[in-house]
Structure 1
């Protein structure tokens, strides 16, 4: 009996050490590369721009040839297909362009669309939400296009720049960020002008959903799809969005959140902090949009297994050793 108790205690200690070690091992290679490489800004231009449009776009992005000595990059269809893991389509039209530059660690992630009239489907906060999922914590990102385009390919330009500078961006991070951007932009476009819908509320709701999923996953490694769905649905209700969104639109968010919960993205120790900074930034500039909204809503409190992480570990270890030694 004493031997069994010793083994159980040892098993729990090992499990705790393993958990802490796993969390400590999670590093953010993306932000490290930004901090080390982007002291000077980097520019990624769309392949479809003609020479006049290139000059116009560079001016819009604030390019200064006397200071910006880094070679310009071009997002070509073959680079896009490689980055996005899709079939190469030479007819692909790529106009949206980006500038990425390092910012101070005490500054929030900033995205500025300098041609909002030409980026028709993606807002600044949608880019910011997707960039956080990609692993960006703090940087200055500028987006421009000389003609009306959706703006969705600009995110691929960020991937391209990061990877070309040595960042190891996992495919799942890229897929998740693109899935998120697509879901947000489509939902926003479909609900434009619809009573009860607000893009700021959706962006803030998504920061809460991502933070709640990350927190719940840390507490319960067996987070179920039903748990994730509850987090999404209750958070949307809190922000008065549930009635203005369709079932299909909510499913898009649920599917993204489930994929996020199964990824390594949420193991980054600064993931939740960056989301909170983004949330505060959106709320602070939204005026009365969030009046009478509970900004401290915690969807995890609704999960019946929330907070039982170590209890679950203990039960798993007890059951394991019971299997070895019998009851």
Structure 2
């Protein structure tokens, strides 16, 4: 087995992107613990490992996975999906490349990208591979592990949010795959809009606000009718949890989301024909509140008029 990895080379910081920019001189590889020696070599080759210059290879053990994911350490855990993280220039966008799409059965590239933004990653290249068919969900733990070993303080809150997001997206996508009116690209773009609107509202977001934002956004992308109430509630709950997170306070959070959104729309342009991709869920929420305020005022005025007609002259 490869060693579990080097310790932090810099003072720990909560600025995840700063750690990537300053520490990832070489790409960092994190292999799943369950890989055999032959599978390790195969996976490294799939991830583009260059033995002449790449030296940073870590193994995500079951105990490390349990600690990261806040679950019981179980030696029967099967960890196969593996990742490579490498830095990019500040003007480049966050990218994810699944080089074995046939073996990552539940998570798409854009789902990983959405979750990575929630972790605080702004620009980096993440490559995912597995030599056998797996869901791919444990690869996210490999990203946490790499970041923490290189000096990033990834809060439990951020980990839980990113994992919740990935689980929500993958569960909805799996349940609706092939259903008329459903499109995974639209869901990923809808989530970028939802997260941007949540960032605008901050911790003042109410549960009713969250539901309105989610439903209005899904409706804009033609997804609402193809999703169940319980699936919509999963997104609403994620939105509420996100509103309490410090990640939305980052000055680059919304710009990174916009870059991700533009990238998805550009790549899957045919999916967005006739759709308002400039939809702003926060403005829709404000407009709806204004509409209901006008209705309420009309009701008040009506009853005030009745009362005044009975008043003594």
**Structure 1 segments of 4 or more deviating over 2 A?**
302-308
Partner residue of 2:251 out of 265, 269, 291: 269
TM-score under structure 1 normalisation? 0.83
- Mapped to 2, the partners of 1:120 and 1:303 lie a distance apart of 36
Pairwise CA distance, 1:45:
0.2
Partner residue of 1:170 out of 137, 155, 175: 155
Pairwise CA distance, 1:265:
1.1
- Mapped to 2, the partners of 1:176 and 1:69 lie a distance apart of 31
- Mapped to 1, the partners of 2:171 and 2:132 lie a distance apart of 20
Would you say 1:92 and 2:77 are equivalent positions?
yes
Partner residue of 2:37 out of 47, 51, 68: 51
Aligned to 1:101, the other structure's residue is in SS state: strand
What pairs up with 1:233-272 in 2 under 5 angstroms? 233-272=215-254
| Map of 1:61 onto structure 2 | 47
- Mapped to 1, the partners of 2:103 and 2:286 lie a distance apart of 46
What pairs up with 1:4-43 in 2 under 5 angstroms? 29-43=15-29
- Mapped to 2, the partners of 1:292 and 1:299 lie a distance apart of 18
Partner residue of 1:179 out of 164, 171, 175: 164
In 2, are the aligned partners of 1:300 and 1:306 still within 8 Å (CA)? no
| Map of 1:301 onto structure 2 | 283
What do the CA deviations read for 1:262-316 (whole angstroms, capped 9, x no partner)?
11110011000000000000000103110110111111123349999xxxxxxxx
| Map of 1:227 onto structure 2 | 209
- Mapped to 1, the partners of 2:285 and 2:138 lie a distance apart of 37
| Map of 1:135 onto structure 2 | 120
Aligned to 1:116, the other structure's residue is in SS state: coil
Unaligned 5+ runs, structure 1: 1-26, 309-327
Pairwise CA distance, 1:223:
1.9
| Map of 1:113 onto structure 2 | 98
Partner residue of 2:266 out of 265, 275, 284: 284
Count, aligned residues: 278
In 2, are the aligned partners of 1:115 and 1:144 still within 8 Å (CA)? yes
In 2, are the aligned partners of 1:216 and 1:306 still within 8 Å (CA)? no
In 1, are the aligned partners of 2:186 and 2:272 still within 8 Å (CA)? yes
Aligned to 1:57, the other structure's residue is in SS state: helix
TM-score under structure 2 normalisation? 0.86
- Mapped to 1, the partners of 2:43 and 2:264 lie a distance apart of 27
Unaligned 5+ runs, structure 2: 1-12, 291-313
What do the CA deviations read for 1:130-165 (whole angstroms, capped 9, x no partner)?
000000000010000000000000000000010011
- Mapped to 2, the partners of 1:223 and 1:289 lie a distance apart of 30
In 1, are the aligned partners of 2:107 and 2:137 still within 8 Å (CA)? yes
1:195–1:305 Cα change, 3 Å:
closer
- Mapped to 2, the partners of 1:306 and 1:41 lie a distance apart of 47
